[in-house]
Amino acid sequence: MPDGASPILEVQGLQTVFRTRGGDIHAVNSVDFHLQPGELLGVVGESGSGKSVTMMSLIGLLPSPPAEVRAGTVRFGGDDLLRMPARQLRDIRGARIGFVFQDPMTSLNPVFPVGFQIMEPLRKHMGLDRAAARRRAQELLELVGIPDAARRLGDFPHQFSGGMRQRVMIAMALACDPEVLIADEPTTALDVTIQAQILVLMKDLRERLGMAVIWITHDLGVIAGIADRVMVMYGGQVVEQAPVKALFARPQHPYTRALLQTVPHVTGARADRLKVIEGQPPVLSGPPRACPFRARCPHAFETCARANPARVAVGPDHDAACFWDVDRGAPRHV
């Protein structure tokens, strides 16, 4: 990774609240992170930890109401995406920032041919005419490994399998050569063999196209093979952030350690049963005043109930939000 280069995306103090009838839900709480050009940042966390909401807040994709981005800045190419007129933001979405969603079965419009759907951003953002957009759409389908691309442009989504639809989604997200690709659990809805194919495809595309990628998943196994750096989220906060090797070698947050223990090992002695993290994720009805993980944490002590730990450096480019120092087995001095 080109160290020291200025980040392409820099998020600070992001806070998103859903105003529902049952009260406010603080889904994202003071999230800070950055993304270097060409880097692949993995984002992990149980479902409900705020991964999707964070990423959708960045580019204004959350329905409002009920969502409300209350605070924060999102620096992208010198502008703040959160304070940008809707029109200008639309010119960035799908052009400079591409999005791939979780469920390829429902994320494509069922009544339009896939060719049309891929051509839409090409025509809007790149101003291509119909013929040029069509040629480019065909190239894109070939790029993502869909055989017989020219003919398949006219096919409707239901004529593709799940894996092929996700390839179409990827082609669509990559249509305008984005600088950043955000992939929100792009393989979760797919069969294991198809997941592997999509992973290989993404690795290959990243090498060829060189865009930065944010890869959301709840599967640490996937992250290990693909990410440069990992960000762990819990209760709408970033609880640990580290280069991928450091995270797997020296996880510092008890939540990360618990997550790592849930990853089944293919090699080695087979565990009697899969480990799970005991307890429930926190209810996010107010801004966090204490550590959100304390109820499930084996190391929790009285400080954890009094304050919400800030992220502190625990190694080179490695930080964790925890009062407990796992290396020393004692509270951390801050």
Partner 1 sequence: MFTYTIRRLLIAIPTLLVISLIIFLVVTLAPSDPTANLPLSIPSEVRAQMREALGLNEPILVRYLLWLRQFFLYEPLHMLDQAFGLSLAGEDMQRILSWQTRSPVADLIVQRLPQTLWVVGTSYVVGVLIALPIGIVSAYRQYSWFDQIGTFVSMVGFSVPTFFTGVLLIVIFSVHLGWFPSIYDTTLRVTDLSTFWLQIKQMIMPVAVLALYNAAQISRFMRASMLDNLNQDYVRTARAKGMTERVVVLLHVLRNSMIPVVTVIALGVPTVFGGAIITEQVFKVNGIGQLLIIAIQGGDVPTVQTLTFIFAVLIVLFNLIADVLYGLLDPRIRYD
Ligand X SMILES: Nc1ncnc2c1ncn2[C@@H]1O[C@H](COP(=O)(O)OP(=O)(O)O)[C@@H](O)[C@H]1O
Binding site for ligand X (CB under 6 A): 18, 20, 25, 27, 45, 47-53, 66, 284
Helix residue spans in the chain (DSSP H): 51-58, 86-92, 114-125, 130-143, 149-152, 162-174, 192-209, 220-226, 244-249, 254-262, 302-306
Q: Which is nearer to Mg ion, 105 or 132 (CB)?
A: 105
**CA dist 172 → 107, 121, 128, 143, 199 (Å):** 11, 8, 15, 11, 17
Residue 92 in the binding site for partner 1 (CB under 8 A): yes
CA dihedral 57, 196, 223, 63 (to 10 degrees): 10
Q: Which is nearer to partner 1, 100 or 297 (CB)?
A: 100
Which residues, at least 6 apart from 280, have a Cβ–Cβ distance to it below 8 Å? 295, 296
Task: For the segment 268-327, give every residue that binds partner 1 (CB under 8 A).
Answer: none
Q: Pick the stretch among 45-53, 72-80, 172-180, 191-199 that binds Mg ion (CB under 5 A).
A: 45-53
Could you tell me the two tokens for 318?
């490695």
Q: From partner 1, ligand X, Mg ion, none, which one binds at residue 50 (CB under 5 to 8 Å depending on kind)?
A: ligand X
Cα(37)–Cα(8) distance, integer angstroms: 5
Q: Which is nearer to partner 1, 108 or 214 (CB)?
A: 108
Among 52, 195, 217, 252, binds Mg ion (CB under 5 A): 52
Nearest distance from residue 143's CB to Mg ion, in Å? 26
Q: Which is nearer to partner 1, 124 or 318 (CB)?
A: 124
Q: How far from chain centre, in Å, is Cα 200? A: 18
Query: How many chain residues interact with partner 1 (CB under 8 A)?
Result: 28
3 state SS of 80: strand
The DSSP bridge pattern shows strands 180-184 and 212-216 to be: parallel
Q: Which is nearer to ligand X, 51 or 206 (CB)?
A: 51
Task: For the segment 43-82, give every residue that binds partner 1 (CB under 8 A).
Answer: 59, 61
Q: What is the 3-state secondary structure (H, E, C) of 112-140?
A: CCHHHHHHHHHHHHCCCCHHHHHHHHHHH
Q: From ligand X, partner 1, Mg ion, none, which one binds at residue 20 (CB under 5 to 8 Å depending on kind)?
A: ligand X
Residue 195 in the binding site for Mg ion (CB under 5 A): no
Nearest distance from residue 50's CB to partner 1, in Å? 17
Nearest distance from residue 182's CB to ligand X, in Å? 12
Residue 109 in the binding site for partner 1 (CB under 8 A): yes
